[in-house]
Amino acid sequence: MSIDVSIRLGTGDAAIAAEYTRVREQLPQALRAVQVLAEQGLPHFKLPSQTGDLADIAALAGGLTDGAKDLVILGIGGSSLGAKALCQLAGWGTPAQPSLKDRPHLHFVENLDGRSLAGLLSGLDPAATKVLAVSKSGSTTETLAQLLIVAAWASARGADLARHCAVIAEPGNNALRQWAQMTGCPVMDHDPALGGRYSVLSCVGLVPSAVAGLDIRAIRHGAAQALAPLLALDEGSSWAQGAALNMAAMACGRSQSVLWAYADRLEKLTLWWRQLWGESLGKQGKGSTPINALGPVDQHSQLQLYLDGPNDKLITIITTQDGDDLAVPADAAGRIGQSLLGGRTVAEIVNAQARATAEALVRAGRTVRVIHVPRLGEQAMGALMMHFILETLVTAQLLGVDPFDQ
């Protein structure tokens, strides 16, 4: 698995091109600063190569899978966006979801809404429902409110909370851990040094991934591959170049950064990235607004604006060849005057659209980057996530903001 990156600067973007060249000169210093963070032993950099915790993660996931028709995951923002992004690789949250019948149905409640929560509970069998509550601080209002309501619902229907629930929170005397002690349910530690938006490679992202049937070791492995260039201070790495391009775009008035993925399985990745980028860089009046998009569907919703509206965006398109070889039936296509579509696979059509969109944007003078992922498996997801984490950290160095605070 590799990430091929091509950075296309639209015609008329001489200003960005010049700025990009200038910023690249600052890269060695920024990379060195991130390397120092790594040397300080921050978990952000240790997690990719960590394997000692995988058995415990798999065991907790096994307990949540055993006898479960449904798994309700409570957790908001950093406690759920990464897990959703990973589970989508297994088809969760895509139209393919109805076919996922051999695993518990995952319900990421996340947003607090009484009508939704009541509706969800009315459709579940408490005897076959398990619950995972995740909050770093152990005191997140939304998650606690949801957990107390769901637990009361389950208890009233005879479920044993110790067997049906599990909790992830940092150590200490916080509300979530008190609740776990009260009910006797299993607890896993959230690393106190790991902010929610960086927690995807820890148990926060990997327990749900294991329930969804993903290879969690491969996710870590992909992340380690994307991290490797940091040790070599490689300015040519895709994420170092990406940071320089983002800096150049911001300096030239591109106030928005669009991540446009051409695969349903990457839709939640763009939402995970949206928090990572926004919360890490949006401070002291600095940063750019992260915007998620999905292709080809957003060609029919956003492309008009991106092509002909204000030229204020850096647009990153992610493509993959890894589709299904579903082909459009040639006979029927011919009979309705669509012989150009006939016999082509959906992956071919989508890739042609992604390329055409990138070309059209460049022709319109917009700044475009294309990230290509040949095969979209666990290793690629780990690599993509680490790519964006590192791109964010290097950009923070160049911007002069602290990417870890809030």
Tell me the site size for its own copies, rule CB under 8 A.
Answer: 107
- Judged by CB under 8 A, the residue of 37, 193, 218, 333 near its own copies is 333
313 binding its own copies? (CB under 8 A): yes
Nearer to its own copies among residue 162 and residue 305 (C-beta): 305
- Judged by CB under 8 A, the residue of 63, 278, 382, 403 near its own copies is 278
149 binding its own copies? (CB under 8 A): yes
Single-letter amino acid, residue 103 = R
- Judged by CB under 8 A, the residue of 341, 355, 360, 374 near its own copies is 341
Contacts (CB under 8 A) with its own copies, residues 56-75? 70
335 binding its own copies? (CB under 8 A): yes
Single-letter amino acid, residue 76 = I
- 401 — phi, psi (to 5°)? -125, 160
401 three-class SS:
coil
Nearer to its own copies among residue 64 and residue 266 (C-beta): 266
291 binding its own copies? (CB under 8 A): yes
Could you give the C-alpha distances from 274 to 179, 205, 258, in angstroms and in order?
31, 16, 9
Contacts (CB under 8 A) with its own copies, residues 106-125? 107, 109-120, 122-124
Single-letter amino acid, residue 28 = P
Single-letter amino acid, residue 351 = N
- Judged by CB under 8 A, the residue of 211, 347, 371, 396 near its own copies is 347
Q: Which stretch binds its own copies (CB under 8 A): 20-28, 98-106, 226-234, 390-398?
A: 98-106
| Contact flags string 231-270 toward its own copies, x per CB under 8 A | ------------------------xx------xxx-----
Alpha helices in 77-234 (DSSP H): 81-89, 114-122, 141-156, 161-164, 175-183, 203-211, 216-231
- 121 — phi, psi (to 5°)? -60, -35
Using CB atoms within 10 A of its CB, is residue 21 exposed (0-12), middle (13-18) or buried (19+)? exposed
**Is the separation of the CB atoms in 257 and 314 below 8 Å?**
yes
15 binding its own copies? (CB under 8 A): no
Hey, what are 25's tokens? 């000169």
- Judged by CB under 8 A, the residue of 94, 186, 193, 377 near its own copies is 94
336 binding its own copies? (CB under 8 A): yes
CB 68, min distance to its own copies, A: 14
167 binding its own copies? (CB under 8 A): no
- 135 — phi, psi (to 5°)? -155, 125
- 336 — phi, psi (to 5°)? -115, 25
127 binding its own copies? (CB under 8 A): no
Could you give the C-alpha distances from 264 to 86, 183, 378, 382, in angstroms and in order?
12, 38, 15, 17
**Is the separation of the CB atoms in 45 and 36 below 8 Å?**
no
CB 229, min distance to its own copies, A: 28
- Judged by CB under 8 A, the residue of 48, 82, 242, 287 near its own copies is 287
40 binding its own copies? (CB under 8 A): no
Single-letter amino acid, residue 39 = E
- Judged by CB under 8 A, the residue of 296, 360, 372, 374 near its own copies is 296
- Judged by CB under 8 A, the residue of 52, 158, 285, 400 near its own copies is 285
Q: Which stretch binds its own copies (CB under 8 A): 28-36, 202-210, 241-249, 318-326?
A: 318-326
300 binding its own copies? (CB under 8 A): yes
- Residues sharing a CB contact under 8 Å with residue 119, sequence separation 6 or more, in sequence order: none
49 binding its own copies? (CB under 8 A): no
User: Strand pairing of 165-169 and 129-134?
Assistant: parallel
* CA–CA dist 307, 357 (Å, integer): 9
